[in-house]
Amino acid sequence: MQTSWSKDNSGRRFWSCPRYRKNVCNFFSWRDREDVDIRSKFIILRLANRIKELEIDYESHIKRSNRWVMKEKKKTKCCNN
């Protein structure tokens, strides 16, 4: 079972083929027949957007950290010779 994060169907649960995301199979079926209430849809979209922002911030932080580590390693090699 998966959860839709699209703007029109955010928060709705559905069943799908395991290869659904790989564009191999397009089978899916909604678990519920009712739409998610407006407040829940608003909150879910905000949370999904915040998760994306945090993932981007995290990736940026990791890249900066890796650059810093590489600089420190170069300094250490230089000074130990």
Sequence spans of domains, the chain: 2-80
Token digits of residue 48: 């999904």
pLDDT, tens digit (0-9, with 9 covering 90-100), for 6-33? 777 777 888 888 887 777 788 888 887 6
pTM of the model: 0.49
Token digits of residue 68: 């810093």
- The helix or strand, by DSSP H or E, that contains position 21, with its residue range, turns out to be none
pLDDT, tens digit (0-9, with 9 covering 90-100), for 42-81? 888 888 889 999 999 999 999 999 988 888 887 776 665 5
